[in-house]
Structures are given as structure tokens and as C-alpha cells.
Amino acid sequence: MNDSAQLPEIPGYRLVRAIGSGGAATVYEAIQRSLERQVAVKVFNLPDTQTVARFEPLLRANARLSHPHILGAHQIGHTAEGRLFHSMPFMVSAELAAHTLRAKPLRVAALLREVLDAVGHAHRCGIVHGGIKPTNVLFDAYGHTRVADFGIARGAAEIGCPHPFAANYQSPEQARGQAPGQRSDFYSIGVLAYQLLTGSLPFEGEDAVATAVAHIEQPVPRLPPMVGAWQAWIDKALAKSPEQRFQGAQEMADALSAIDGQRGSGMPAPAVARRRVPKRALAAAAALAVVVVALAGWGAWGHQKASSTRAGDAVQPIQPEAAVTRTVPSQDPATADSASLRESRVATLIAQADALRAAGHLFSPRGNNAAEQYFTALTLDPGNPAATAGVDAILYTSTRQLQQAWHEQRLAQVGDLVKRCDLLDAHAGIRARRDWREARDGLAQDVGTAVATAAAARDTQGLAVLKPLAETLPAIYREGFDFAKAERMAATPVAGERLQDRGGPVLVYLPAAGAGAAFAMARVEVTRADYTAFAHATQRPASRCLEAYNPFSRLRHLTWQAPGFAQGGDHPVVCVSWDDAIAYAAWLSRTTGENYRLPTDAEWLRAAQGMPKGTPCQLGNVDDISRQSAMDNDRWSCDDGAAQTAPVGRYAPSGVGAYDMYGNVSEWQAGGSPHAREFRGLSWRDGSHQTPLGRRGTADSDIGYTSVGFRVVRVIDATHPAPGVVSAH
């Protein structure tokens, strides 16, 4: 596609093609006619003549910075349409944003020395960058850095047009709406260093406001071990208070010597930091589709063309000055601005913010929301009544949203709104600030009450959800309440409490007693439905099954699917051998990721203690008149309602809530030998001659019985902490 028709006309230049656009400006490859040299030309898309008048002195001040690591300007002027532009060297290499240096800490140190050398020179000239980020740190053909846009990014932010990602690199004081100083630049360089070393930003949020809050509140993250030697330097660079950061560029550069062993920022960069471009590549540079220097990169804002009142102005060449080593007087053209221009810009910002607020764009999108516009207006005109009133309105709206979110238990949103309201509080009026703090205190008390209620109910999930909000506020508790202690107590089950792993059975908890460790016993015996799932998953064949004291049962070919009497899925499985029970516990362990096994004799007896008083038929399923057997002379005279097995959980539980410890089926236990595996407890065929807890027997490992089933125990130890608590219903 031919774009020549859209190229602007600039006296003295022939524009070749557009090679980059950042919203506020477009960069073109061009030929300077007088010298026939290849250059880059940046044409600004400023919305009005007042903004043009604001930017032109910034460009001229920037152009006067003469330093080998600062990108200079050839000329500044206006296009035939009156749009502001400046020309600069054409960079063959790419901006830092296109490079990855994660595994090259020495190269990062060399790059930072050059950046600090450039920034230090600008500071000595009285110019603060105010917006250092990867898009304005570039490389020349020899791999050395060129820092661009001194003061320009700051100027864009002040007129309400920040880069959409500027908040990622801004210091805490900038996040609060304060003007950047020299130590703000050092903070941005610290963020840049962290990103180069790790490949990620130290602080991030869903939007610009959330990111600003993160810079203000969150601690400096820890570096990965590979670049751990940088931690002290990063900690100082990213200190929340400017007084705790490096106080000068030279100090910051010298501190790198503890990392790379180099001395002084003026030393040559290590060889690994220089990237030579082959001669063949340089010769073909004009034809390459390369990324050039100094993309504006600011957020989306109006592309309205400036008035053409200066369309015929001649282009004035810039004569670089010698390096300045003394402080420039306070009347710096980069910061000079008439009162009328400032008032006009503030009025425009407030009007834009009011419109965004009316449309509901309180905090997003980034770079174009009401909160940021009001903050910028207050930076230019502290205490402005209209801007303060706008902040107050957002604060009241956010407070109502917060209260609604709390009512609906959207706790993550509540936490975000608390942080946003706190940021608004720093700019709000006295009454709005007072009202917010009263609402905040009320919320802190409500959260404290909710935490105490969850702790009393031993609701570990509720405590986990409330914890971030409780820490953010912080919550207000009754005297003596300790959140950490409440967490520990809630996470420690009490005797008989029901627990469950994901994919596991419901358990009852038995705490440590004497020499016995804590454990959790399955609330009921393993059912036919449970065992069916295991058998299908493992394709385990059915074991041989016998009926106790009946030698003729060998002829009946009994199995767990056909034990000789009817069973439902909720009946305890029978005709399973000890080997089958061990295999089931191993499968359950794999399924849940926890440790399950058969109970020991001592564990089974502990779980069976505390049976209530009553007749045998009330306590469990035993041998009674319901079982029609002519050979039975040991039956109880009562009727429990089940001739053979009964559904699990029908009769009275033990003291800790374990069912069927009295009757239904005897249960396999851990231990023993292949020909003497133990089982314990009464079954549906055991009568009055058997004691409830004293009944025990042994059998071969590979044979099942119609009156023997099993239940499992969940191990609880340092490796396998107790599972989560489940409802008693």
C-alpha cells in the first residue's frame, strides 16, 4: 500500500515512510535535503495550540542536552499544517523494549551505567526526565544506550496524556500526584533494572490506579537466586521514600561495583554490553524495516491537528551547547509556563474528568479515566476546588460501591476499592476525607466481627477469604483477639469433627492421645458402590469367598458381587479379602494424593469407644430373630430389622461419630501374617455369645467372608496435614 499521500510536508525534509506511532506522535524515516542524510522525524499530534506552546520549550531544553548517551535533536519546527516536529539521528538498532537481557546481569549493569551517566548529566543541567521506561532507552549501532525524551514524558503526563504504561515505572510520590524529582528518576531506573533482570515488573495492577497503589504499598519483591546479588541495590533503588534511595546518579552507578566489580560510571562498558553491527548491515540500514528511536508512546488522546497560525514558520536549527557542569537557574524553559496557559489546561482536564466520571470511567481505561485526570489537574493546581470536588464525588461513589460489595460478600472487590479510596483520600476535601475514614472504620469493625465469627465456627475457608481484606484495612478486633492464633485453632480439628479430602470418604477426627498419634477414621464402612468404583478403575478380579462355619459354602462360588443375599449400593461390601482391602486403600491414596490404610487394632478400639446405652438391636445390626436360620441358637430375642447386612450409618454411632462399629460386618485390620490376618467387631451373624468390642478373629489374606468388610484410616502427620472440615449434614 502506498502511504505517500498521507505523509506530512516538512520544509527541508523528504519523508520516506512512517515507521512507528505511539498515539501522541508518529515517527518517520526521512531524508534531510540540505545534507542528504538519513534522519528520523517525530511529528506530534498535539490537540491544540496551547499544548504546542507548552511542548516546544520542552523540546528545545531537551535538545540543549549534549551527551554521548542522550539522544539529541537536529532541528525543531512546524509542518506545513502547523504540527510540531523535531528531527533526530536515525537509529539502526532497536529500543530497549525489544531486547531481553534476563541471563546477562553484567550487560544490564553496563547498560545502567550509561543510562545513569546520561541522567546524571541532565540533572546537573536542572532537567528531570520524569518518565524513564524501556521505550525511551535506545541503542545506537555500536550497542551503546541513548536516552530520549527528557522532560517530554513528564510534560505529557502533566497535560493529562500519560503513556498507557507509565504507571508501571512511576515512583510512589508520582503515584500520589506529586511532581517528580531527581530521585524519582532513580526509582524508575530501579524498576527498569528489575524488569531487565527478571523479565517482569516488580509492581503490577489491573489498571493505573491499582498499579499506583502497588508502588505505594507493596514491599519490594525478592529477586530470583540467579541475580540475588542485585537485591540490596534494587531495595535501595525502589525504596518508598526518596530519602532512602540513592541520592545521586554517580552514587547509584558506583553501587553497581559491588555487583560487577567495575569502578565509576565513566568506565567503558564491558565487551558483552557492546553490540557491533556488521558493515553489511550498516550499508543496508536505510532499506531495513527497523524500529527507530523516540516513539512518543503516550496514551490515546485526540489526534486533532494544531491550528495553522504558524504554518509558514521557518525551521530553526539547534546549536548544541557544551556539557554543563553547574546548576541551571530556576527559570528553566522546560518548566516555565504562563498562568493563563496553566489555568486553561487545568480547566480542560477538569472538563474531561467530569465527562469521564459521568460516563462511569472512574478508574479505567488506563490513561483516560476521571481519577487520573483530576489528579493531574491537582498536580498543576494544588487545591483546585473543582478538581477536589470531582475527587470527592468519586470517593463517595466508590464508598457506596464498596458497601454494596461488602453486603454481597464480593471481598476481593472490597479490598481493591479500599485501596482506591485510600488513594483518593490523599486528594479529597476535608469533609469527604472525614466521611471516608468513618466508613473505613465501620468496615474495619465489620470485618473484625466477621473474622471472629468465622474463627468461632472454625470456618477455615471463611478465614482464608477474609484475611487479605483484614490485613489491608486492618480489621478492628475485640481486645485480645489474635488472627494468627484463630487461624491455627480453626485449622486444628476437634475430636469427632468431620473431615474430607477431595475424592475421599467422610472421616471423623481422633486427636492424639498418650502415645497414639492423631488420625481420621472413615465414618462408615466401605460400601458396595465405593468398591465397585475401585474394581472398575483397577480391573481387580473378585477374591474367593466363604461363609463362616459353613464348609458347604465352598461350592457356592460366592463373590463380592454375589455374596448369597441381596445388597444395595449403600450396604457394606463383603466377600473382600484382606489383600483386596489393602489394594483399595492404596488406590484411594493415589486418587486423593493422601495416605490411607487399614486401622490398627488400637485405632479401631479408640474409634469404637463411647457407644450409647440400648439393646443390641438398637445399637447395631446383629444376629437376631430377623435372621431365619434353623441352625442358629445364639440369636438375640430382639429385631434389628435386617436379616443380613444393612445400609451403613443406620444405627447408633460411637462417641466420635463412627457408625457400624457395633454390628453389620466385622472389619479387617492392619498387621498380622499371610495366614493370620486380623478382623474385629460384631457382624450381622454374631449373637449373644460375642462381646461387642472383644469379638476378633483371623483368616488367610486372600479369602473373603460374607460377614467381613473393612473401613479405612486417613494418616495425619507432618507430611499429611488434616483434611478440610465438612458440614455435619
pLDDT at residue 263, as a whole number = 60
Banded pLDDT at 438 (limits 50, 70, 90) = very high
The count of other CB atoms within 10 Å of the CB of residue 108 is 23
Is the pLDDT at 69 greater than 80? The verdict is yes
The rounded percent of the chain whose pLDDT value lies above 90 is 47
Distance CA 269, CA 110 (A): 5
Distance CA 483, CA 490 (A): 10
Higher confidence at residue 201 or residue 269? 201
**Region 225-243: what's the mean pLDDT?**
91
- For the chain, what is the mean pLDDT? 83
Q: Which of 551, 574, 552 is nearest to 561 (CA)?
A: 574
Angle (CA) 293 295 298, round 5°: 155
Is the pLDDT at 551 greater than 80? The verdict is yes
Is the pLDDT at 372 greater than 60? The verdict is yes
Distance CA 149, CA 578 (A): 79
Distance CA 407, CA 596 (A): 42
How does pLDDT run across 349-364, given as a tens digit for each residue? Answer: 899 999 999 999 998 8
Q: What amino acid occupies position 547? A: E
Q: What amino acid occupies position 697? A: G
Strands annotated E in 299-450: 316-317
How does pLDDT run across 95-113, given as a tens digit for each residue? Answer: 565 556 666 788 899 999 9
Banded pLDDT at 461 (limits 50, 70, 90) = confident
pTM of the entire structure?
Answer: 0.48
3-state secondary structure of 500: strand
pLDDT at residue 275, as a whole number = 40
| Poorest-pLDDT segment among 196-210, 456-470, 622-636 | 622-636
pLDDT at residue 81, as a whole number = 84
Distance CA 23, CA 28 (A): 14
Distance between terminal CA atoms of the chain? Answer: 70
How does pLDDT run across 277-308, given as a tens digit for each residue? Answer: 444 333 333 332 332 333 233 233 233 333 33
pLDDT at residue 73, as a whole number = 84
3-state secondary structure of 234: helix
Is the pLDDT at 309 greater than 50? The verdict is no
Q: Which of 465, 317, 290 is nearest to 12 (CA)?
A: 317
Distance CA 138, CA 118 (A): 12
Give start and end residues of each alpha helix (H) in 125-227: 152-158, 172-175, 182-198, 208-217
Is the pLDDT at 265 greater than 80? The verdict is no
Q: Are 118 and 265 in contact (CB under 8 A)?
A: no
Between the alpha carbon of residue 719 and those of residues 147, 495, 517, 670, the distances in Å are: 54, 21, 14, 21
**Region 620-649: what's the mean pLDDT?**
87
pLDDT at residue 515, as a whole number = 85
Between the alpha carbon of residue 80 and those of residues 8, 12, 309, 474, 719, the distances in Å are: 7, 11, 10, 59, 76
**Region 185-193: what's the mean pLDDT?**
95
**Region 81-88: what's the mean pLDDT?**
87
Distance CA 729, CA 713 (A): 21
The rounded percent of the chain whose pLDDT value lies above 70 is 84
How does pLDDT run across 582-611, given as a tens digit for each residue? Answer: 999 999 999 999 999 999 999 999 999 998
Q: Which of 121, 57, 424 is nearest to 265 (CA)?
A: 121
Q: Which of 233, 231, 123 is nearest to 185 (CA)?
A: 123
DSSP string, 419-471: HHHHHHHTTS-HHHHHHHHHHHHHHHHHHHHHHHHHHHTT-HHHHHHHHHHHH
Higher confidence at residue 365 or residue 632? 365
Q: Which residues pair with 678 in a beta bridge?
A: 698
Distance CA 520, CA 498 (A): 9
pLDDT at residue 310, as a whole number = 33
